[in-house]
Structures are given as C-alpha cells and as structure tokens.
Amino acid sequence: MYRNSMKIEFPNNSDNERFARSVAAAFVLELDPTLDQIAEIKTAVSEAVTNAIIHGYDTESGIVTMEGNICDDVVEFIISDSGVGIPDITRAREPLFTGKPEMDERSGMGFTIMETFMDSLDVRSEVGKGTKITMSKRLR
C-alpha cells in the first residue's frame, strides 16, 4: 500500500521537462530529503521525461505520463509514453549511445545518469507501442 501517489499527463512539449522536475521535487518533500537527494531525483526525472519528449514520439505530438509513489521511505517514479519504442534497450542503455546523433546537444548519457542517481532503474519498451521507465530511490 502506498503512503502517497500521484499521476500527471502532459504533452511532449520540451517546456514540460521543467514542470516534471518541479512536480518530482515537490512530491518527495514529505520524506524530508536532503538537497542533494532532491537534485538527484530532479535530474533523473528530467532525463526520463526528456527521453520521452525527444525520442518517444520523434516529430509527432503525444502524451507523457509521470507517476509517483511513496512507500515507507522509498520514492518511485514511472515515466511512460505511447510512442515509437526502443528497438534495442541494451544498446540504448550504453553510455554515449544516442538515437539522435544529429542533435549536437544529446550526449547519450540519459540512462547512465538515471542509474547513477537512483537506486533502481527498469526500462520496458515495445516498438510502436512506447516506453516505460520505472526508477526508485530510498531517502532515509
């Protein structure tokens, strides 16, 4: 049973990445996290949402869903899209791999950053159906 949970949906507009970061930070406040923990969570959520916005729908419009759950002292975030999916998750999780090499600002470190800042990371994807990223962090 969750102590608290939330779910929001928003268009895959790049401005909504900042919105998702703010929501994640506000959601974890009841666990009294450190400033470092808040920064790490915001960064991990930002990477997942940015991936959904940039890679999930390519040039099409779509919806990104962000769920948050708190159970005891663990926070879990689930970021999902119903977009193009990831053909090779293992390859996509390799450091420096990017599915958008034409975009100079893409470093290919999104999954690595999520793994570094969170305690667990699970990536599920099906081509043509979308991607679901589930990550969690213990805060005490």
Residues with catalytic function: 47, 51, 106
Q: What is the 3-state secondary structure (H, E, C) of the chain?
A: CCCEEEEEEEECCCCHHHHHHHHHHHHHHHHCCCHHHHHHHHHHHHHHHHHHHHHHCCCCCCEEEEEEEEECCEEEEEEEECCCCCCCHHHHCCCCCCCCCCCCCCCCCHHHHHHHHCCEEEEEEECCCEEEEEEEEECC
